[in-house]
Structure 1
Amino acid sequence: MTEFIAAVFVIIGGVMSVFAGIGILRLPDVFIRMHAATKVGTLGSGLIIAGVAVHFNDPGVVLRCILIVFFLLLTAPIGAHMIGRAALRIGVKPWGAKDTDVHNSDS
């Protein structure tokens, strides 16, 4: 039964990672691409790692998997925020924004 649960986690995580890749290729601007990469990519990676933890069922492996997921959840939003902030500072306009919609501030 644990092999089935692990396989479901890995398959769903792989599908989510494919969706993240498609989103990076197909979405119109850096801000929306960044959203696809961080949200769906983190979910896909987390599910794959959860599948690994369920499959091996060893306390050392489970602890490492928990730490990896924690690190992903900690760093992905921060990285996305910094990429978005850098894009705004260099003057990248969000998709569909008019010239008056975006304020370039240093805060």
Structure 2
Amino acid sequence: MNAVEIVVGVLILVSAFLSMAAGIGILRFPDVLTRLHAATKPQVFGLAAVLLAIVLRVPTWGVVTTAVLIMTFQLLTQPMTAHMLGRSAYRTDHVRRDLLIEDDLERDIEEHAQS
């Protein structure tokens, strides 16, 4: 067993831990917004870890470009998806407003409704 195989194993374990943390967060957190945070952050970092492990294990140009494309599309789509889900949850009253520190969206919605 060489150093690259050890690093690949560690990266896969890190990815598995982050996926487990995301799953536990989705089950344990109290509202939609915190669940979205738990689902997006560890998922992106876990995907980055497993893609890095794949690139280290099979370092060819095809694998590297595919991994870069996958990570790029993930980083472009995941924040927008979470934003849209959070906004729709807010507008349909699926957010616990007592947990919000500052509610800027309510003020913006009220200003838009008045104009």
Aligned positions of 1:31-42 closer than 5 A:
31-42=33-44
Q: 1:30 aligns with which of 29, 32, 46?
A: 32
Shift of 1:93: 2.7
Shift of 1:23: 0.4
Calculate percent identity across the aligned residue pairs: 36
Q: 2:62 aligns with which of 60, 70, 76?
A: 60
CA distance in 2 between partners of 1:85 and 1:95 (Å): 13
Larger radius of gyration: 2
Q: State TM-score, norm by structure 2.
A: 0.81
Letter in 1 for 2:85: I
Q: 1:6 to 1:22 in 2, by over 3 A?
A: same
Q: Which residue of 2 aligns with 1:74?
A: 76
Q: Which residue of 1 aligns with 2:20?
A: 18
- Number of aligned residue pairs: 105
Structure 1 residues not aligned, in runs of 5+? none
Counterpart secondary structure, 2:94: coil
